[in-house]
C-alpha cells in the first residue's frame, strides 16, 4: 500500500474531523480536512434530502481535490415537529444559524410539550466518491432519543447533541466520551457499512 494515499474529509467542522479520524483510525489512509487541503470553496447544500447533499459534496470536492472524498449530511428530525428541522438543521430559521439560535428555536417550539412527545432521531448519510469510479457509495445511520429542556455540555458545531438524551445509556449525546460514542454513534453505524469499501480501495 502507498503510505501517502489520502482521503479528503469534506467538512469544515473541527468536531466532525476529530470524530472521523477516531472512527476511521484503523483504516490505512491519511485523512485530510478541507482546511488541511487548502480548499476554501463552499458547496451550496440545496438538496431536498441528506443523501442529495452528501453526494453533491463528495463529488464536488473530489473533482476539486482529485482525492477520494468522504462527505456527509445529517441533522435532527423531531417527531412532534413532523421531522423538522431535518435537512434544514443548520438553516432552520431561514438563514445560517448559530448553535445558540438553533438550540433556542428547538426549545421554543417544544415549550410545554411533555417528555413522551419529545422523541427525535439524529440521522446522517455518508457518501464516498473515488476518482475514476462513477459510483458514489452511500450509507446512513440513525440514533433515537429524547429532546431535553435545556442544553447540556454544548459542543461547538453540534448544537442539537446538547439537547439529545439517549435513554439507553442515560446520557446526553454531548456527554459521551469518544469510546462511548464509538459504540453507539449514528455516524459509526453509517461508516461501518462503508469501511469495507474504503479498505478495498486503499489496499
Rounded CA-CA distance 99/90 in Å is 8
The yes-or-no answer on residue 73 being catalytic is yes
The helix (H) or strand (E) run that includes residue 62 is helix 50-65
The per-residue b/e assignment along 29-49, b for 16 or more CB within 10 angstroms, e otherwise, is bebbbbeebebeeeeebeeee
Calculate the alpha carbon distances from 169 to 19, 162, 172, 192 in Å. Answer: 20, 15, 9, 21
Q: Which of 46, 73, 79, 133 is catalytic?
A: 73
Rounded CA-CA distance 56/11 in Å is 13
The per-residue b/e assignment along 172-188, b for 16 or more CB within 10 angstroms, e otherwise, is bbbbbeeeebeeebbbb
Active site amino acids: 73
Amino acid at each position: 500500500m502507498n503510505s501517502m494515499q489520502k482521503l479528503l474529509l469534506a467538512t469544515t467542522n473541527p468536531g466532525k474531523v476529530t470524530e472521523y479520524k477516531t472512527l476511521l483510525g484503523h483504516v490505512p489512509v491519511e485523512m485530510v480536512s478541507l482546511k488541511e487541503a487548502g480548499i476554501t470553496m463552499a458547496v451550496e447544500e440545496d438538496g431536498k434530502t441528506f443523501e442529495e447533499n452528501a453526494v453533491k459534496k463528495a463529488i464536488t470536492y473530489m473533482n476539486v481535490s482529485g482525492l477520494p472524498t468522504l462527505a456527509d449530511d445529517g441533522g435532527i428530525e423531531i417527531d412532534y415537529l413532523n421531522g423538522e428541522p431535518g435537512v434544514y438543521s443548520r438553516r432552520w430559521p431561514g438563514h445560517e444559524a448559530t448553535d445558540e439560535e438553533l438550540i433556542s428555536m428547538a426549545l421554543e417550539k417544544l415549550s410545554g410539550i411533555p417528555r413522551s412527545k419529545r422523541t427525535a432521531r439524529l440521522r446522517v448519510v455518508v457518501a464516498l466518491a473515488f476518482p475514476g469510479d462513477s459510483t458514489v457509495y452511500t450509507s446512513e445511520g440513525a440514533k433515537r432519543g429524547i429532546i431535553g429542556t435545556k442544553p447540556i455540555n454544548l459542543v461547538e458545531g453540534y448544537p442539537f447533541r446538547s439537547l439529545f438524551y439517549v435513554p439507553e445509556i442515560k446520557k446526553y449525546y454531548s456527554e459521551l466520551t469518544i469510546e462511548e460514542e464509538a459504540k453507539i454513534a449514528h455516524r459509526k453505524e453509517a461508516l461501518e457499512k462503508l469501511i469495507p469499501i474504503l479498505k478495498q480501495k486503499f489496499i
